[in-house]
Structure 1
Amino acid sequence: MQRIVRLLIGLTLSALALSAAAQQPIIYPAKGQSPERQRTDTAECQAWAQQTTGVNPVALAEHMANSPPPQEQQGRLLRGAGGGALFGTLIGGAAGGHWGEGAGIGALVGAMGSGMRMRREQQQASVQQAGMQQQASGQLSTYNRAVAACITGRGYTVE
């Protein structure tokens, strides 16, 4: 399960990186600007866009890459089963000396409860990760629109 969650997070980050690359404006020097002039204009427009929108694409990408990994899940099923077995043993013993049956039923119920909690936590982590990706994508889109507006004002064609 943990490997699946890590794989999903990796795929989400890859999708974010591809999305950011796909959203970058394509800039054409429509008035014959030199490559050096285009680099200078682009850098100045990127700085202006960052200042205007408050979005730093590098920091945003680093934040997404460094988001905390999901909690370790190893051993939770066993702990749930162990706790359930102990509880079941106590209940089974109190209900007429059925220690073994109580332990077995308790272990099963404890493991099932732990498994359900783990799935719910993983689903919540996936939803949270998707929300972070959507927010980052929106911020990058705003930043790229600002870059495009600035560079268009300097005589370039932007697609």
Structure 2
Amino acid sequence: MPCPPLSRGAVALLAAVICGAGVSAQTFVYPAKGQSPDQQKKDEGECHTWAVQQSKYDPANPPPAPAAAKQPTTATGTTPGAGARGAARGAVVGEIVADDAGAGAAVGAAAARGQSRRQNSAQTQQQQQAATQQSQAGMAAYQKARAACLEGRGYTVK
């Protein structure tokens, strides 16, 4: 089933987890050389520690998502001054086109605020997607290191 279209950062993160975008499935470890369950448990614990050291990623304690460097916004989610800049542009256009600077200013302010909200939303979504990709890369590196360790100790890892 294909992933649904994404429009918000939180939805993107949830869909990435649900749809498995880049997230590896659970691994299975088989004692190919007849290792006992106690030996396997010990080896898996040691390989976990080694994989964390090698990958700098611990799936039991993943790093917190970096705080988004948010631009200052108003209560409506726009960048401060966006409406004023839009009003100034709209007033000029309104005066030239229709001899009505006031109407042009109102339209320009509304358009600029809408554009500012869309840009701020897109930036937040991009930051969340970058954090998700970084976490997925860390998990992939950890799983690769863990598998290498276990295979070196005589286990089959799938």
TM-score under structure 1 normalisation? Answer: 0.66
Q: Which residue of 1 aligns with 2:135?
A: 136
Aligned to 1:6: 10
**Aligned letter for 1:6?**
A
Please show how residues 78-97 of structure 1 align to structure 2 within 5 Å: 83=84
Q: Is there any run of 5+ residues in structure 2 with no aligned partner, and where?
A: 1-6, 93-98
- Identity rate, percent: 29
Conserved 8 A contact 1:83-1:110: yes
Structure 2 residue 29 is the aligned partner of structure 1 residue 27? yes
Q: Map 1:106-125 to 2 at 5 A.
A: 106-125=105-124
Structure 1 pair 157/73, CA: closer, same or farther in 2 (3 Å)? farther
The one-letter amino acid of 2:44's match is T
Contact 1:45 1:151 in 2 (8 A): yes
Q: Which residue of the partner structure matches residue 126 of structure 1?
A: 125
**Rounded Cα–Cα distance in structure 1 between residues aligned with 2:20 and 2:36:** 29
What's the TM-score once normalised by structure 2's chain length? 0.66
* Structure 1, unpaired ranges of 5+: 92-97
Alpha-carbon shift at residue 117 of structure 1 (Å): 1.6
Shift of 1:151: 0.6
Structure 1 position 63 matched with structure 2 position 64: yes
- For residues 130 and 57 of structure 1, the distance between their equivalents in structure 2, rounded to whole angstroms, comes to 19
1:153 paired residue number: 152
Could you list the per-position Cα deviations for residues 60-99 of structure 1 after superposition, in whole angstroms to 9, with x for gaps in the alignment? 3x524x755978775246x8797579869x98xxxxxx9x
Give the drift of 1:27: 0.8
Contact 2:150 2:157 in 1 (8 A): yes
| Cα distance in structure 2, aligned partners of 1:106 and 1:84 | 9
Distance 2:81 2:11 in 1: 25
Contact 2:22/2:136 (<8 A) preserved: yes
State the shift of 1:34 in Å. 2.6
